[in-house]
Structure 1
Amino acid sequence: MSALKVEIYTKMFCGYCARAKRLLDDKGVEYNEYDIGMDQEKRDDMVRRKPGASTVPQIFIDDRSIGGSDELAMLEREGKLDAMLGL
């Protein structure tokens, strides 16, 4: 099985970002984090990948947008997250 690519766009002092990262950390999932707070290029990249995105976190699993912290938590509650992460 090939490793999944998990990416999360965040900002400093974002409670929702911290919550999403904590869930991924608890599952032992490695991810690339992009802080868009002071990086306009990464912000532009996020919006290009998810048109209309204006909030963080924005989470991508294998280039598929799954949304933010609430959507990640919902996938976990529904028992779908582990399968998406290949766990």
Structure 2
Amino acid sequence: MTQGIKTYKGYEIHPLVYPRRTSSGVTHRNSLDSGYDASVRICRVGAKSIDDGRVFRLAHFRPFEGAGKARMACMEHATNVIDGHVDGQSVADL
């Protein structure tokens, strides 16, 4: 599945959504522990390398029920980071 790249205030936002690992460390899509975890990569528009950005993990106590919900949460978290509303997370030096 291709994940869309969005731009916001001169930054590219790349949602990173992946199946949650169970307590045994194995990834299952249909277990009781199933769901999705998410992170988001933020870099300047036109960055020459993917290493020019930074990855921020979304602190979420429970797995997201679906990949779409996880992607929406990535977008919201990224805009909050870019706007400076998340303590300890900044893109000011990118």
Taking structure 1 as the reference length, the TM-score comes to 0.33
Q: Whose helix proportion is higher, 1 or 2?
A: 1
Q: Whose strand proportion is higher, 1 or 2?
A: 2
